[in-house]
Amino acid sequence: MNKEQYFSSPVYSESKPEWVDKLNNLSDPYIKAARDDQIENNKKRKTIGYKNDIGMTYHSQPLEPDENFRFFHDYMAVKSRWMLGDMGYDIDKYDLIYTESWVQEFSHNGAGHHWFHTHSNSHVSGFYFLKCSEKTSKPLFQDPRTAHVPLKLKEKDGTKISNANDIIHYSVSPGTLMLFPAYMSHAYAVDHGIEPFRFIHINIRAVEKDMMSSFGLSSMS
């Protein structure tokens, strides 16, 4: 029988290792500030995390205002515009704005993770990996076809990517850049703290051009 694929959800990636050192250096003070804030908050709450920060993820303040990251944000905006066009959207009618951009690092004591979630206020989500290896956490993607979950069948071979998968484990290395539709549920597997794990996360929204001036918004693309 003939086979056609409908409603696929793409994940785009490329390697940009030439940015790793520069972006690690730029993000160091952001991670330090996030770690200091977390420790101080835990002191006030007297939580277990204050003792040894097991399970902690350090989430920075927004990166968009920092002009040192402008080259990165500009590139991600250009690639996001291309991605939306490749997916079939009439992107010429839209400008792009950042809804969020931050750097995140998992605790060196292990158990850092991030459970499945989406970004409903955005059209594009993306990652850029600064510190990672085969021993660290990795991004996970969950099947967005919610209607099939109640009657899910067993997979023939869980080691292969197919229409039967409900979760995809994605292997990355320093310099891996990823973009995907923001409606895709994504997560990070539990990290064991063996080696450092750090990444930048971005979210981008497409806004109709005639709406940009009405709300005083500035385009990134």
The reported pLDDT for the residue numbered 15 is 97
- pTM beyond 0.85: yes
Q: Which residue matches tokens 């977390």?
A: 38
Q: Which is more confident, 82 or 189?
A: 82
Q: What is the pLDDT of residues 92-114, one digit of tens each?
A: 999 999 999 999 999 888 888 88
94 neighbors 204 (Cβ within 8 angstroms): no
201 neighbors 104 (Cβ within 8 angstroms): yes
The reported pLDDT for the residue numbered 210 is 81
Output the DSSP codes for 118-162: --TT-SEEEEEEEE--TTS--EEEE---GGGGGGPPPPS-TTS-S
217 is written with which tokens?
Answer: 């918004």
Q: What is the pLDDT of residues 145-182, one digit of tens each?
A: 877 776 778 888 877 888 878 888 899 999 999 999 99
Written as one letter, the residue type at 194 is: I
Helix (H, G, I), strand (E, B) or coil at 110: coil
207 neighbors 94 (Cβ within 8 angstroms): yes
The reported pLDDT for the residue numbered 83 is 97
Asked if residue 44 has pLDDT above 80, the reply is no
Mean pLDDT check: name the lowest of 69-78, 131-140, 204-213: 204-213
Q: pLDDT grade, residue 43 (50/70/90)?
A: low
60 neighbors 103 (Cβ within 8 angstroms): yes
Output the DSSP codes for 158-207: TTS-STT-SEEE----TTEEEEEETTSEEEEPPP-SSS--EEEEEEEEEE
Sequence-distant (6+) residues with CB within 8 A of 197 are 105, 106, 112, 131, 132, 136, 137, 191
The CATH code belonging to domain 12-145+163-214 is: 2.60.120.620
Percentage of residues in the chain having pLDDT higher than 90: 60
Q: Which is more confident, 159 or 80?
A: 80
Ranges of each domain in the chain: 12-145+163-214
- pLDDT mean across residues, the chain: 87
